[in-house]
Amino acid sequence: MRCEEIAMLLPELLGGSLDAHAEAEALDHLACCAACRSELALWSRVKAVAAAQAPPLPPVIRRRVGSALRRQTGSASLRTAASMLRDTALITQKTIRLSLLCARSGLPEGA
């Protein structure tokens, strides 16, 4: 795998959601690529900051919100909401990545 390909996998690697094959390839690459290890360290800091700023909801609140949503909406609406959440997470991930790239290159964001 090339560095650009590894870079796209780092958030998932940190989140533990890569499949075993992709994880093994990423770890092999990281073992011999200082640039990607540096990128992984950056993602790790981003993840730590994000976790500190948005602590997870307590399980009892998540259960109540989930059951309220199920009562008030059909399963199609829930699927749409889940899909929108996934899209939002992807956009957030790409925005953070772009911000990191801008910060490293010295460009102002949006330039």
Q: Which residues bind Zn ion (CB under 5 A)?
A: 3, 33, 36
Sign of the dihedral defined by the CA atoms of residues 88, 91, 99, 49, in that order: positive
Q: How far is the CB of 30 from Zn ion (least distance, A)?
A: 7
Q: Among residues 2 and 71, whose Cβ is nearest to Zn ion?
A: 2
Q: Where are the alpha helices (DSSP H) in the chain?
A: 3-15, 20-31, 34-53, 59-72, 75-105
Q: Among residues 18 and 36, whose Cβ is nearest to Zn ion?
A: 36
Q: How far is the CB of 41 from Zn ion (least distance, A)?
A: 13
